[in-house]
Amino acid sequence: MQFQQLIARLFSAVGVVFLAVMATSFFAKSDDNLVTDRYLLINNVDVFDGVNPKLIKNSQVLVINDEIAAIGSIPDNLPSRLQIIDGQGNTLMPGLIDAHWHTLMAAASFKDLSQGDASYLHTLAAVEASNTLLRGFTTVRDMAGPAFGLKKAIDENLLQGPRIYPSGAGISQTSGHGDIRHRFNPPKAFGGAPSRWESLGLMSVADGEAGVLTAVREQLRQGAVHIKIMGGGGVASIADPLDSVQFTQQEIKAAVQAAADFGTYVTAHIYTAPAAQRAIAAGVKSIEHGHLLDDKTLQLMANKGVWLSTQPFHLDEVPAYYNASQKEKLRLVTQGTAKLYRLAKKYKVKVAFGTDLLFATANAAKQNQELVKLQQWLTPFEILNMATANNGELLRLTGARNPYPKKLGVVAVGAYADLILVKGDPLANINLLADPKNNIAVIIKNGTVIKNTLTTRH
């Protein structure tokens, strides 16, 4: 009998422990003082959702953790530990997206990139990433460079900065836009050493289908979510004429196949129609720049759904390092800016907004001004739609490699809570965004308040 009593007491004790655990679990869930989810309510705002040209007036947005949970109609049973921001009748909109950004090259000078210490360059990039976010750009599509480590540090909340979609090194043929060697240095194929730009991971020079396959696969191995190739001549590069067509169609097809095998896509640096037509025939999904494209090519892009990721280049933006040859190439490119936007609109090409700012903190700081400059050719709604929802759609071309699978660039239930609150109505006065320090009152990324100059209560 003593043995039976011992067993009964043991089961009784286990039962008490089990009930205690269950009760603790229940009350932890029901007691909002112990809720671990983060709740943020933004009241009294007009909402630009990134898609529709009219504001949603007098609305409110609920954020739970990293995503938008409700718009307009908010549940009553919210926990008491709720952060509330009074929007004071201002405009809440998606965080801005820059579809052509250079994380490592935006703030570093050409001289430092050519000669400076790598750790210094990455430090500059980290500082500039914080500046980028504080300008209201919550996501960037990196277009050549080793942004993998900075992306990881930002994702792990070690540093402050935008989401980064990295391409890894830009892939160039010998004598192409990314082949930045002194003329007396032999190419790798003839025993030459990799250039400084290759050593840093900014560029990768490859020739032939096998070489291109290796270069693309290496970037994917490093963590690239899309691939950038140099499909034509460039402005800053010295050795390649602007009108040169770079990579054979077979080489481009090799890049496209390698990227597709990893579930993603290839975008190409190109200015001219012949280069663009070759790249499109090979399966490239986006043309970067494209300032010298013609009607036929833009119509082709519209028919095939190929994106145009371009920038409002002007002759008044000439970096100090430009020599006479580079300045002449820039002059030819900028002559095509107005025509490009007009034709892209005519043929209903999918257009993305990017800046391609390089080589100085002062240049990088013009990010917002580049956006505002577009009103020479586009309406405020067209501009804001391009820099939010449109760019978010472009980012989803990364498919299986998308590092941020929820929607970006929209204020919608289930989308990432990447938001900015603008003092006033940017659809009526887009110039407000030219001064982010004074006119962007709140910046939210991933549901976390990065900047807030308005009243907050808990």
298-331: pLDDT as tens digits: 999 999 999 999 999 986 665 656 788 888 888 8
Cα-only R_g, the chain: 25
139's tokens: 């996501």
CA 188 to chain centre: 32
**Ranges of the chain with pLDDT below 70:** 1-35, 315-321, 456, 458
Backbone angles phi, psi at 240, to 5 degrees: -110, 130
H/E stretch holding 410: none
Report how far residue 92's alpha carbon sits from residue 418's, in angstroms, rounded to the nearest whole number.
10
Inter-residue contact 261 to 300 (CB < 8 Å): no
What integer pLDDT is reported at residue 325 of this predicted model?
84
Which pLDDT score is estimated for 27? 34
- Supply the pTM of this predicted model: 0.91
Please report the pLDDT score of residue 421 as a whole number. Answer: 98
- Counting every residue written for the chain, the total comes to 458
Average pLDDT of the chain, as a whole number: 91
Closest C-alpha to 288, from 427, 177, 392: 177
Pick the closest to residue 365 from 436, 305, 273 (CA basis). 436
CA distance 31 to 226: 45
- In whole angstroms, what is the distance from residue 212 CA to residue 148 CA? 21
Identify the pLDDT of residue 4: 47
What percent of the chain clears pLDDT 90, i.e. is strictly above it?
Answer: 81
Cα–Cα distances in angstroms (integers) from residue 190 to residues 181, 184, 195, 247, 291, in the given order:
14, 12, 13, 19, 35
pLDDT in tens, 279-288: 999 999 999 9
Please state the φ and ψ torsions of residue 424, each to the nearest 5 degrees. 110, -165
CA distance 290 to 273: 8
